[in-house]
C-alpha cells in the first residue's frame, strides 16, 4: 500500500474533491480508481527514429513501465528529444549537440515537476541523453533509476561508426577507393544501439553505473537482448523500493560516488566528454567537483581497458566477458573505489559487487592492475599560458607524451577539415581550431571529422590539434580540447598566429604558447570581442546563459548576487 513518502508529489495532484479535474484528465489516458492511490512513476523515454542509438527505446520504456506497474506503481511514459552526433558531426548542426543536453534536462525537470511524478525511470541511448537525464533527475531529486539503452553490435569486419569517419580520411590519402568507403558505410551500423567503442555513450553509461544511479550491469548490455529488457523491468520495480525507503539521487550522487565514476572512466580509457558531463551533473546535485579532482584521481588510477578508439576491442566484446562489474570489483579490492556508497539497489557498491566473479582466464580486453596499458590517467588536465583555467587532453601515450610545433590556425571545424583532406596540413604542425567553445561556437562542437581525417591520412603521430571546442569519444590522437578561457571570451587561444610554437606536455600537464608574457599581453590588448553569431533562437539563448567548459558548460549557474 502506498505511504505518504511514496506519494509525496502525486497526492497533491489527484487527492481530494478539488482535484476532480486532474483525475478526469488522467482517466482519459487510462487511469482507473485504484490508480489514483498508487505512486506515479514517470518513464522518461528518449525514443526517436532518427538515430540507431535510440530507435529501440520505445520498447524499453514500455518494459520499464510494466516493471513499475507490477511492483505497485502507476507508470506514465513521456518523451524527450535526442539528436545524433554521428549524423551531425562536421556540420553546422553539431552546434545543437551539447545544447540538447540542456534541453533534455530541462524537459524532464519540466514534465515531472508539472505532473507530480513521485519517482522516475530515465532511459537514454546516445551520449547527450545520459548526462541530460541525470541532470534532470538530480534537479528534481526524487527517487529515480537511469537505464542505458545498450551498445550496438559490431559491423562487418569489426567496423563501427568511427571506421566510416576514418575511411573518409583514408580515401583522401588514396588508401581506399570510393567503393571501399561505400562498403564500410553500408555495413558498419547493423542495427539499434549506441556507438560500439568506449566512446562517450558507453563511457557515460559506465560512469553512471559506477556512481550507483543504474542497476548493476546496466551499462554493459547489448541494446537488443533479453538482459536489457530485464534491466528495464527491474528498473521500474526498483523505483518503488526507492520510494518506500525515500532514497533520492542526493543520497547516491555524493562526492565519493563521483570519484568512483571518475575512477571507472579512467580505467576504461573513456571519453574526454566525461569531464564536461560529470562536472555538469555534480553542479546539478550540488556537489563540488573540479578539474583538479580529475588530476588527483588520475595520478593513482591506471588505464586497463584495451577498447576503441585507442584500443582494439568493442563494448559488445566486453559485454561477452562480464561487462564492467569484474573491473569494478578489481578496483574495489585494490582500494580504488569507495565501497560504502549507496546505490539504486538500496545496497552499497561493495554489497552489489560482493558476488561478482572475475573475468575468464585468457581474455585480453581488461589488463590486470600490475600490467596496465598506462600507469596513470589518459585524461590529462593541462594548464599553462594557453589554458589558464584548464584544458582536457586524451593522451594514451601511443602517440607520445609531448608534442611541439608551429601553429596552423583555423576559425572553424569545416575549414580545418578541408585543409587536412586537400593536403595543406603538414606533419609537425599543431592545428588550432578556435571560436568553437560553448559561447563562441556556440555549442562547443566535437572535432570528430578533423581528428578522424588526421588518423585516416596516417598523421596520428605527426599532427596535434588543440581547440576550445571538444572531441567525440571516438576521437584519438594528440588532441587537446576544452581550452579555457575560450576564444570568444578573450582566452589566449584567440591571439595565436600562424607559425607560433605551441608545446603540449602531458608529462607535466602543460599547454604553452612559446611567446613572452609581454607579447601575449600586447596581443590580448589588441583583440576585440567578436559579435555573437546568433541573435535569436536556442543557440543565441544558449550562448547567453552557458558558463565555462571548465565548470561543465551548464546553463543554470546564476552569478553571485543575482
- Mind listing the pLDDT tens digit for each residue in 232-289? 999 999 999 999 999 999 999 999 999 999 999 999 999 999 999 999 999 999 999 9
Residue with cell 569519444: 473
Q: How far apart are CA 548 and CA 414, in angstroms?
A: 23
Mean pLDDT value of segment 466-472: 95
φ, ψ of residue 347 in degrees (nearest 5)? -110, 170
- Give the pLDDT band of residue 31 (cuts 50, 70, 90): very high
Question: Does the pTM of the predicted model rise above 0.85?
Answer: yes
Q: Is the peptide bond before 485 cis (omega within 30 degrees of 0)?
A: yes
For the cut 60, the answer to whether the pLDDT of residue 465 exceeds it is yes
pLDDT reported for residue 473: 80
- Give the pLDDT band of residue 398 (cuts 50, 70, 90): confident
Instruction: Name the residue ranges covered by the structural domains of the chain.
Output: 10-153+191-353, 163-190, 379-551
Q: What is the CATH number of domain 10-153+191-353?
A: 3.40.50.2300
Ligand-binding annotation for 126, yes or no, is: no
Q: What is the mean pLDDT of the chain?
A: 96
525: Cβ contacts below 8 Å, ≥ 6 apart: none
Query: Is 472 considered catalytic here?
Result: yes
For the cut 90, the answer to whether the pLDDT of residue 391 exceeds it is yes
Ligand-binding annotation for 446, yes or no, is: yes
- Mind listing the pLDDT tens digit for each residue in 378-389? 999 999 999 999
Q: How far apart are CA 353 and CA 355, in angstroms?
A: 6
| Superfamily holding 379-551 | IlvD/EDD C-terminal domain-like (3.50.30.80)
For the cut 60, the answer to whether the pLDDT of residue 549 exceeds it is yes
Mean pLDDT value of segment 315-329: 98
pLDDT reported for residue 5: 80
Query: Rounded to whole angstroms, what are the CA distances from 536 to 91, 486, 545?
Result: 20, 22, 13
Mean pLDDT value of segment 323-351: 98
pLDDT reported for residue 455: 87
Q: How far apart are CA 290 and CA 276, in angstroms?
A: 10
Ligand-binding annotation for 38, yes or no, is: no
Given the residues 472, 475, 548, 550, select the one marked as catalytic: 472
Ligand-binding annotation for 231, yes or no, is: no
Amino acid at each position: 500500500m502506498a505511504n505518504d513518502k511514496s506519494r509525496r508529489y502525486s497526492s497533491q495532484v489527484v487527492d481530494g474533491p478539488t482535484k476532480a479535474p486532474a483525475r478526469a484528465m488522467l482517466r482519459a489516458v487510462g487511469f482507473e480508481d485504484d490508480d489514483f492511490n498508487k505512486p506515479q512513476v514517470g518513464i522518461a523515454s528518449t525514443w526517436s527514429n532518427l538515430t540507431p542509438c535510440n530507435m529501440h527505446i520505445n520498447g524499453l520504456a514500455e518494459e520499464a513501465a510494466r516493471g513499475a506497474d507490477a511492483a505497485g506503481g502507476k507508470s506514465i511514459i513521456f518523451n524527450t528529444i535526442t539528436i545524433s552526433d554521428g549524423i551531425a558531426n562536421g556540420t553546422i548542426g553539431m552546434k545543437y549537440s551539447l545544447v540538447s543536453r540542456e534541453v533534455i534536462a530541462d524537459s524532464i525537470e519540466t514534465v515531472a515537476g508539472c505532473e507530480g511524478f513521485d519517482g522516475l525511470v530515465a532511459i537514454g541511448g546516445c551520449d547527450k541523453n545520459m548526462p541530460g537525464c541525470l541532470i534532470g533527475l538530480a534537479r528534481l531529486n526524487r527517487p529515480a533509476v537511469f537505464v542505458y539503452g545498450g551498445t550496438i553490435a559490431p559491423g562487418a569486419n569489426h567496423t563501427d561508426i568511427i571506421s566510416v569517419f576514418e575511411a573518409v580520411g583514408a580515401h583522401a590519402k588514396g588508401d581506399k577507393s570510393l567503393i571501399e568507403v561505400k562498403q564500410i558505410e553500408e555495413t558498419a551500423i547493423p542495427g539499434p544501439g549506441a556507438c560500439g567503442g568506449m566512446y562517450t555513450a558507453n563511457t557515460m553509461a559506465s560512469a553512471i553505473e559506477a556512481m550507483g544511479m543504474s542497476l548493476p550491469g546496466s551499462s554493459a548490455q547489448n541494446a537488443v537482448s533479453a538482459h536489457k529488457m530485464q534491466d528495464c523491468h527491474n528498473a521500474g520495480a526498483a523505483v518503488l523500493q526507492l520510494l518506500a525507503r525515500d532514497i533520492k539521487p542526493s543520497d547516491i550522487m555524493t562526492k565519493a560516488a563521483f570519484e568512483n565514476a571518475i575512477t571507472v572512466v579512467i580505467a576504461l580509457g573513456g571519453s574526454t566528454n566525461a569531464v564536461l558531463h560529470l562536472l555538469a551533473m555534480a553542479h546539478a546535485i550540488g556537489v563540488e567537483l573540479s578539474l583538479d579532482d580529475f588530476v588527483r584521481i588520475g595520478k593513482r588510477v591506471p588505464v586497463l581497458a584495451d577498447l576503441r578508439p585507442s584500443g582494439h576491442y568493442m563494448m559488445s566484446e566486453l559485454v561477452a566477458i562480464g561487462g564492467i562489474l569484474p573491473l569494478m570489483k578489481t578496483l574495489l579490492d585494490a582500494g580504488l573505489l569507495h565501497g560504502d556508497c549507496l546505490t539504486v539497489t538500496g545496497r552499497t557498491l561493495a554489497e552489489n559487487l560482493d558476488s561478482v566473479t572475475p573475468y575468464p582466464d585468457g581474455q585480453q580486453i581488461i589488463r590486470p592492475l600490475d600490467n596496465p596499458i598506462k600507469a596513470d590517467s589518459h585524461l590529462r588536465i593541462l594548464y599553462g599560458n594557453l589554458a589558464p583555467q584548464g584544458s582536457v587532453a586524451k593522451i594514451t601515450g601511443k602517440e607520445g607524451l609531448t608534442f611541439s610545433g608551429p601553429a596552423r590556425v583555423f576559425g572553424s571545424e569545416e575549414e580545418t577539415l578541408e585543409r587536412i583532406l586537400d593536403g595543406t596540413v603538414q606533419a609537425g604542425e599543431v592545428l588550432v581550431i578556435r571560436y568553437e567553445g560553448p559561447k563562441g561556437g556556440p555549442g562547443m562542437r566535437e572535432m570528430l571529422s578533423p581528428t578522424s581525417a588526421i588518423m585516416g591520412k596516417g598523421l596520428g603521430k605527426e599532427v596535434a590539434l588543440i581547440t576550445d571546442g571538444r572531441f567525440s569519444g571516438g576521437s584519438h590522437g594528440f588532441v587537446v580540447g576544452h581550452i579555457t578561457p575560450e576564444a570568444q571570451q578573450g582566452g589566449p587561444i584567440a591571439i595565436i598566429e600562424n607559425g607560433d610554437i605551441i608545446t603540449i606536455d602531458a608529462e607535466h600537464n602543460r599547454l604553452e604558447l612559446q611567446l613572452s608574457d609581454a607579447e601575449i599581453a600586447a596581443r590580448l590588448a589588441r583583440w576585440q570581442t567578436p559579435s555573437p553569431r546568433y541573435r535569436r533562437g536556442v543557440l543565441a539563448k544558449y550562448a547567453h546563459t552557458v558558463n565555462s567548459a571548465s565548470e561543465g558548460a551548464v546553463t543554470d549557474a546564476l552569478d553571485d548576487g543575482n
